[in-house]
Homo-oligomer: A and B are copies of this chain.
Amino acid sequence: MDSDNRNRQIGRRGFLAAAGAGASALAGLTAGTARAATPDPAITEVQDWARSLGDGVAVRPYGNPSSFEKHVVRRDVEWLTASRESSVSFTPLHDLDGIITPSGLCFERHHSGIAEIDPQKHRLMVHGMVERQMVYTMSDLKRFPGRANRVYFLECAANSGMEWRGAQLNGCQFTHGMIHNVMYTGLPLKTLLDHCGVRTAGKWLLAEGGDASLMTRSIPLDKAMRDCMVAWAMNGEALRPEQGYPLRLLVPGWEGNMWIKWLRRIEIGDQPWHQREETSKYTDLLADGRARRFTWIMDAKSVVTTPSPQAPLAGKGPQVLSGLAWSGRGAIKRVDVTFDGGRNWRQARIDGPSLPLSLTRFYAEFDWAGEELLIQSRAIDDTGYVQPTKEELRQVRGVNSIYHNNGIQTWLVRGDGQAENVEIS
């Protein structure tokens, strides 16, 4: 008998023995899992994938997920916008874990579709109130000292925006999926601004994208000098086209609309430009008709990703609640969770790198006997800010706006394990 066959037989004998022995011992762990008392063919039989050679190396020079993961995709909501070219797709948060968002699943928000830019032809111009106007090629940018790698979340100001008037969309992909978190590589914007020499009168910056919409936003110079970056890579490789390839602006902790994609132009001026995206859009209309403007910072927020409407409980017994928390003001210091709609709270366990202005992963283990649950999470950042309820937000801001809803989300879990987006008062 050769070595491979011996291994296989050892394996089969062992599986046969364990298939019987394990069945009852596991009952405590997996009370909800149906498990036959007789040996399971999934254990005792040699599976198809062990009978023959699979695909070799470099058959897929750039790999993709398993065919069993085809349901893990970005999704849009057809009725939400008039066309897909000016619309949004949502990150499937309920299918993900850890804090890194896979580049292929990062939510999209376009105003005129995805610009497919030739990096050789792309330029970044810096002009206005500067000593030296500059035009940079991609190659120029990669020659500057001070290249940096940072993990940041990017959240659309309209994330959870449909929830202002009550629970609407069923699934955290749709209520909270306008967010992603990747490691960027690029250059501090300060490096370029210093290279151009900002004049004393220069206090504001206009960033402009190179797609057909020429998206523009005004940014205060002090923010630009503090921690903004121009980035050409995400999660180790070049930016994806839908994330601004070959160059995007990072405005850490601030609303995603300001993170100009396909970045082509930066102008320095002495006052904001009052473009469409900071007047008619991305301002927060209050109940009395006045509007909050320049509300750039994304306040502390969290969401339970499992269980949630797209990720029901599979059965009774031990469970792992999982979720994400973040703050545009710093690092997440603590996350609390409740299973009874806020009567009792317990502290969740934060795991993995907990970085400032980054998504933070939390878990809370619990045992479920089939009772109805009202699950919520509440984030607290290192400034001491506590994530408010939706009702607390509405009392101050009304329900006219679609922006900056960081209220506490509620999932109702029913006796069959299915979860639903609900609101409780």
What is the interface of chain A, defined by CB distance below 8 A to chain B? Answer: 3-4, 7-8, 10-11, 14-15, 17-19, 21-23, 25-26, 29-30, 33, 40, 42-43, 47, 49-69, 72-76, 83-89, 95-106, 108-110, 112-119, 121-123, 125-128, 132-137, 139-140, 142-151, 183-185, 195, 208, 210-214, 216, 233, 235-242, 245-246, 262, 264-265, 267, 275-276, 314, 317-320, 322, 351-353, 355, 361, 363, 365
The residue in chain B whose Cβ has the minimal distance to the Cβ of A277 is: B3
The one of B136, B142, B214 that contacts A7, using a Cβ cutoff of 8 Å:
B214
A186 → chain B, closest Cβ, in Å?
A: 9
Given A19-B135, A116-B67: A89 touches B58 (CB 8 Å cut-off): yes
The residue in chain B whose Cβ has the minimal distance to the Cβ of A62 is: B104
A269 → chain B, closest Cβ, in Å?
A: 11
CB <8 Å contact, B99 and A149: yes
CB <8 Å contact, A212 and B87: no
The residue in chain B whose Cβ has the minimal distance to the Cβ of A13 is: B127
Query: Complex Cα distance A89/B127, Å?
Result: 46
CB <8 Å contact, B58 and A76: yes
Given A49-B210, A98-B185, A135-B43: A237 touches B105 (CB 8 Å cut-off): yes
The residue in chain B whose Cβ has the minimal distance to the Cβ of A15 is: B125
Inter-chain contacts of A42 with B (CB < 8 A)? 121-123
Query: Complex Cα distance A320/B95, Å?
Result: 38
CB <8 Å contact, A49 and B116: yes
Beyond known contacts A56-B85, A58-B75, A98-B149: 11 more, CB 8 A cutoff = A18-B126, A21-B132, A22-B133, A29-B143, A30-B137, A47-B121, A50-B211, A62-B64, A100-B235, A105-B237, A143-B319
Query: Complex Cα distance A235/B40, Å?
Result: 32
Query: Complex Cα distance A187/B369, Å?
Result: 24
Query: Complex Cα distance A50/B234, Å?
Result: 23
Inter-chain contacts of A216 with B (CB < 8 A)? 7
CB <8 Å contact, A135 and B15: yes
Given A17-B133, A84-B56, A85-B56: A62 touches B105 (CB 8 Å cut-off): yes
Query: Complex Cα distance A151/B99, Å?
Result: 11
Q: List 20 A-B residue pairs with CB atoms under 8 Å apart, sorted by A's residue number.
A: A7-B214, A14-B127, A15-B123, A18-B135, A43-B123, A47-B117, A47-B210, A53-B113, A53-B212, A57-B87, A57-B88, A57-B110, A60-B104, A61-B74, A65-B238, A66-B245, A68-B246, A97-B149, A147-B320, A353-B355
Inter-chain contacts of A127 with B (CB < 8 A)? 14, 17-18, 21
Inter-chain contacts of A86 with B (CB < 8 A)? 56
Query: Complex Cα distance A125/B42, Å?
Result: 11
The residue in chain B whose Cβ has the minimal distance to the Cβ of A206 is: B10
Inter-chain contacts of A33 with B (CB < 8 A)? 137, 139-140
Inter-chain contacts of A137 with B (CB < 8 A)? 30, 33
Query: Complex Cα distance A42/B22, Å?
Result: 67
